[in-house]
Amino acid sequence: FDELQDSEILEAQRLLSMYEGVFVEPASAASIGGAIRDIKAGKIAEGSVIVCTVTGNGLKDPDTAIKQCADAVMLSIDATMDQVKDSILSNM
């Protein structure tokens, strides 16, 4: 067993949301953060299969995620399929 800094957990939460589209609470991001650190440290061999359990929904603690997004932009759009699609595609 090992421990992670809060910053490592929050970075794992951010990366999981950004690259995989999976929004988890910080407690669930701990397994991802540990895997990332162990890969960087060479404790997990290249080509290994890793399974991380992430069960807690990010909506349990949205304020923590919001605080990590200082550069986020608030958008106001009409609630139509075209507006939503255009907004998503133009911000990728």
CATH architecture, domain defined by 6-90? 3-Layer(aba) Sandwich (3.40)
Please give the pLDDT value at position 88. Answer: 87
> What pTM did the predictor assign?
0.72
CA torsion sign for 22, 46, 37, 11 is: negative
Let me know how many helices (H) and strands (E) the chain has, helices first: 4, 0
Please give the pLDDT value at position 37. Answer: 96
Tell me which residue of 13, 9, 18 sits closest to 37, measured CA to CA: 9
CA distance 33 to 23: 14
Q: Where are the domains of the chain?
A: 6-90
pLDDT one-digit tens code per residue, 5-63 = 999 999 999 999 889 989 999 999 999 999 999 999 999 998 999 999 998 898 888 88
- Whether the CB-CB separation of 77 and 84 falls below 8 Å is answered with yes
pLDDT one-digit tens code per residue, 59-83 = 888 888 888 877 777 788 999 999 9
CA distance 22 to 15: 9
